[in-house]
Amino acid sequence: MRIEELPVDERIRRVILGRGIEELYPPQAEALRSGVLEGKNLVLAIPTASGKTLVSEIVMINKLLREGGKAVYLVPLKALAEEKYREFKAWESLGLRVAATTGDYDSTDEWLGRYDIIVATAEKFDSLLRHGAGWIRDVKLVIADEVHLIGSYDRGATLEMILSHMLDKAQILALSATVGNAEELAGWLDATLVVSDWRPVELRKGVFHLGELMWEDGKRESYPENWESLALDAVRKGKQALVFVNTRRSAEKEAVSLSSKMARLLTKPEVRELRELADSLESNPTNEKLKRAIRGGVAFHHAGLSRAERTMIEDAFRDGLIKVITATPTLSAGINLPAFRVIIRDTKRYSGFGWTDIPVLEIQQMMGRAGRPKYDRVGEAIIVARTEDPKTLMERYVKGKPEKLFSMLANENAFRSQVLALITNFGIGNFRELIDFLGRTFYFHQRKDTSSIEYKAKDIVYFLIENEFIDMDLNDRFIALPFGKRTSQLYIDPLTAKKFRDAFPKLEENPNPFGIFHLIASTPDMATLRARKREFEDYLDLAYEFEEKLYTEIPYYEDYGFQGFLGEVKTAKVLLDWINEVPEGRIYETYGIDPGDLYRILELADWLIYSLIELYKLFEPKKDVLSYLRDLHLRLRHGVREELLELVRLPNIGRRRARALYNAGFRTQDDVVRAKVRDLLAVEGIGMKVVEGLFRHFGVELPEKAKKGGKTAERRKKGTLDDFLS
């Protein structure tokens, strides 16, 4: 279909033509002819990069221009929210306003009301629904990207509930990878189903075994025995490769190994640029390896890397500077990063209980990354058979069908939280209404029966009543109690809330960082670290040393959860080090973790301590305890000792600058106000920008000559805690 024939607002056609697109891909055309433009629901199951986004944009903008109202675009990752936000921003030329909201960004309610297109993570939108923001009424279209995540064990229930809520309130456009039972999904959503495996770049799939590459059509090619030759070959052809492995350690090892073999394939300018890139990285144990790999044009990519490093690697790969990325599943879904050749080294992964085959759906998503539109005529996806029979792999992953989607609503943890929300935030008034609502879910559509989930729901309701999240009156009507309502809005697991409340008496008696951090670490919402075997004794000793500070008993060795407990102690200790200004580098070393891990722990702890405070407020809080908790929250957020609390409240002053200021003798805000600009600039990490910010904060005019001068002092005053202590 030609864009000019598209039955949508003329302005939309103009924008698309302006992008140089004149013709729609076949599946796009089919999707747009399905009735979706007339308001019908649609499930669109087509490969990544075959133009789902453009379909969404056309449907979305057309709807907004014709009917007004709002459209919500749901994504599974914060990084994707950002990506989509930037893409949709282009439509602001038509007078529509675009916003993105995730846990990182602006939160509530009415602020978002001023926007027409709202990009949000599923959890964030769920949270917005719970808060009952007024503008939700105006949502006329919900687009759920990567809707197959409805089958994800821990996050699927959220998506399912959102769609159940919105089903008869808004038009639904569900974008899915190819799944085994798309028609079932469409049936639930009362939607037209469009399925296609058409791709703008042809995809060749094959299996590699001991030097022999067998394509799905039976053609064979010979290579050196080691699979690395596949990656090197791609680079030799002037292309790029993406290698998927199943552990961080493998990603790092393979990157370094490939890197050493690639040096001669690089040009002089590339070598120089790569060296610069490597040198720009901060120093820490993981980055040393990364630097080595990058100098040879290879990078590894996993969740231990910080946000900045990941983005840097992605950009350098897109620019063609980095030739090969070895990655854990961080790159298998999510951000758009195609490569000519995709090599899948592992098809099994360790998953808590043992080794499992990676689902077909996931492997096919990895394979779908092969082929860069505009650069490649074909993309190649190759599975490496190392121990498994190549024929089995060919059957299962290349020729096989992806798994069916199953509702994960009955997952106990997710369901507990959702049942609470239904009662406290969505006006479900009694058990009958609860069951009625469940009748609208994918779970019911799929199973045609709710008896087993009713049983679970009943248990949960009893649990909620027993723990005073809700109550029931004489007519068996639910009553939302403040504790329940707040728990639901804080978006924490009811079990977490219960743990907090049970700990309040002891906490009041003996508020201390270690006890509080351990409490946080022991909740199901926290991602705790694992204690290694050889660390067991250390953390057990630590626990006994701090026994009086803990709010729980130390378990016995035989107890279930003993190892988990040690992990909690380890996590608490990391947080304790953090607020005692132990430098990041030393934390990575001591605990064997990476920057991404630390960031994750801090992010979660920050959210949970806030929630702890909010819940404590509901139970006749003691003023001194409350202010103790608030100070601790601030210390946690900035990673500082108590004496820096005052400085850290200033704009752009974090743990490093605050310490530097303090060491230089500026110990209070008052000291800073009275300081000479020249003296402030002499402090490590403080430049003109920061000083300007400070003066603006205090509402003081910056002296004219300082503005012009602003020269940096020759000798900076050092600013670490060690400097202070020595």
Partner DNA sequence: AGTAAACTACTCTAGACAGCATGTC
Partner DNA sequence: CTAGAGTAGTTTACT
Minimum distance from CB of 426 to DNA (Å)? 16
Q: Are residues 519 and 605 in contact, defined by beta-carbon separation less than 8 angstroms?
A: no
Minimum distance from CB of 545 to DNA (Å)? 21
Q: What six digits make up the tokens of 555?
A: 């378990």
Among 33, 445, 458, 532, the residue binding DNA under the rule CB under 7 A is 532
Q: Are residues 694 and 683 in contact, defined by beta-carbon separation less than 8 angstroms?
A: no
Among 236, 237, 249, 432, the residue binding DNA under the rule CB under 7 A is 249
Among 93, 260, 356, 510, the residue binding DNA under the rule CB under 7 A is 356
Amino acid in position 370: A
Which residues within the stretch 194-213 sit at the binding site for DNA (CB under 7 A)?
A: none
Residue 227 or 442: the one with the smaller Cβ distance to DNA is 227
Minimum distance from CB of 358 to DNA (Å)? 8
Over the window 143 to 182, marking each residue x when it contacts DNA by CB under 7 A and - when it does not, the resulting string is: ---------x-xx---------------------------
Q: Are residues 428 and 460 in contact, defined by beta-carbon separation less than 8 angstroms?
A: no
Q: Are residues 194 and 45 in contact, defined by beta-carbon separation less than 8 angstroms?
A: yes
Residue 3 or 543: the one with the smaller Cβ distance to DNA is 543
- DSSP helix/strand/coil, 206: strand
Q: Are residues 409 and 159 in contact, defined by beta-carbon separation less than 8 angstroms?
A: no
Which residues within the stretch 632-691 sit at the binding site for DNA (CB under 7 A)?
A: 633-634, 637, 649
Minimum distance from CB of 603 to DNA (Å)? 6
Q: How far is CA 505 from the centre of its chain?
A: 35
Q: How far is CA 642 from the centre of its chain?
A: 31
Residue 155 or 165: the one with the smaller Cβ distance to DNA is 155
Amino acid in position 220: R
Residue 247 or 452: the one with the smaller Cβ distance to DNA is 247
Alpha helices in 477-555 (DSSP H): 482-490, 494-509, 513-521, 536-545
Over the window 252 to 271, marking each residue x when it contacts DNA by CB under 7 A and - when it does not, the resulting string is: -x------------------
The whole-angstrom separation of Cα 578 and Cα 632 is: 12
Residue 30 or 82: the one with the smaller Cβ distance to DNA is 82
Among 131, 456, 678, 716, the residue binding DNA under the rule CB under 7 A is 131
- Per the listing, tokens 């000479």 go with 676
The whole-angstrom separation of Cα 285 and Cα 362 is: 31
Minimum distance from CB of 520 to DNA (Å)? 12
- Per the listing, tokens 């953090």 go with 578
Main-chain phi, psi angles of 293, to 5 degrees = -65, -45
Half-sphere exposure of 58 (CA within 13 A, CB side): 25
The whole-angstrom separation of Cα 241 and Cα 246 is: 17
Over the window 571 to 610, marking each residue x when it contacts DNA by CB under 7 A and - when it does not, the resulting string is: -------------------------x---x--xx-xx--x
Half-sphere exposure of 616 (CA within 13 A, CB side): 25
Among 28, 41, 171, 250, the residue binding DNA under the rule CB under 7 A is 250
The whole-angstrom separation of Cα 697 and Cα 388 is: 63
Residue 104 or 476: the one with the smaller Cβ distance to DNA is 104
Residue 56 or 488: the one with the smaller Cβ distance to DNA is 488
Minimum distance from CB of 648 to DNA (Å)? 10
Backbone torsion region of residue 466, taken as left when φ is above 0, otherwise alpha when ψ lies between -120 and 50, otherwise beta: alpha
- DSSP helix/strand/coil, 507: helix
Residues in the chain: 726
Which residues within the stretch 373-402 sit at the binding site for DNA (CB under 7 A)?
A: 386-387
Angle of the 482-490 helix axis to the 122-131 helix axis, nearest 10 = 150
Among 13, 78, 635, 655, the residue binding DNA under the rule CB under 7 A is 78
Residue 356 or 712: the one with the smaller Cβ distance to DNA is 356
DSSP category for residue 401:
P
Among 14, 95, 108, 134, the residue binding DNA under the rule CB under 7 A is 108
Q: What six digits make up the tokens of 497?
A: 């809330």
Main-chain phi, psi angles of 668, to 5 degrees = -130, 170
Minimum distance from CB of 432 to DNA (Å)? 30
The whole-angstrom separation of Cα 86 and Cα 12 is: 17
Minimum distance from CB of 247 to DNA (Å)? 3
Residue 414 or 572: the one with the smaller Cβ distance to DNA is 414
**Residue 123 sits in the site that holds DNA (CB under 7 A):** yes
**Residue 114 sits in the site that holds DNA (CB under 7 A):** no
Which residues are CB-contacts of 347 (< 8 A; sequence separation ≥ 6)? 357, 358, 363, 383, 388, 393, 397
Quick count: other Cβ atoms within 10 Å of Cβ 476?
10
Return the bridge partners of 203, or none: 379
Minimum distance from CB of 562 to DNA (Å)? 14
Q: Are residues 192 and 35 in contact, defined by beta-carbon separation less than 8 angstroms?
A: yes
Residue 206 or 304: the one with the smaller Cβ distance to DNA is 304
Over the window 608 to 637, marking each residue x when it contacts DNA by CB under 7 A and - when it does not, the resulting string is: --xx-----------x--xx--x--xx--x
- Give binding residues for ATP as ranges: 28
**Residue 247 sits in the site that holds DNA (CB under 7 A):** yes
Minimum distance from CB of 649 to DNA (Å)? 7
Q: Are residues 685 and 719 in contact, defined by beta-carbon separation less than 8 angstroms?
A: yes
Among 34, 62, 127, 425, the residue binding DNA under the rule CB under 7 A is 127
Minimum distance from CB of 412 to DNA (Å)? 15
N-terminal to C-terminal alpha carbon distance within the chain: 73
The site for DNA, by CB under 7 A, has a size of: 68
Minimum distance from CB of 463 to DNA (Å)? 19
Residue 200 or 651: the one with the smaller Cβ distance to DNA is 651
Return the bridge partners of 407, or none: none
The whole-angstrom separation of Cα 291 and Cα 360 is: 34
Residue 268 or 533: the one with the smaller Cβ distance to DNA is 533
Over the window 267 to 306, marking each residue x when it contacts DNA by CB under 7 A and - when it does not, the resulting string is: -----------------------------------xxx--
Which residues within the stretch 3-42 sit at the binding site for DNA (CB under 7 A)?
A: none
Residue 334 or 390: the one with the smaller Cβ distance to DNA is 334
Residue 535 or 581: the one with the smaller Cβ distance to DNA is 535
The whole-angstrom separation of Cα 503 and Cα 482 is: 18
Minimum distance from CB of 198 to DNA (Å)? 28
Bridge pairing between strands 70-75 and 139-144: parallel
Pick the stretch among 272-280, 343-351, 676-684, 707-715 that binds DNA (CB under 7 A): 343-351
Residues at the site binding DNA, with contacts judged by CB under 7 A: 76-79, 102-108, 121, 123-124, 127, 131, 152, 154-155, 246-250, 253, 302-304, 328-330, 334, 348-351, 353-356, 386-387, 489-491, 525, 527, 530, 532-535, 596, 600, 603-604, 606-607, 610-611, 623, 626-627, 630, 633-634, 637, 649
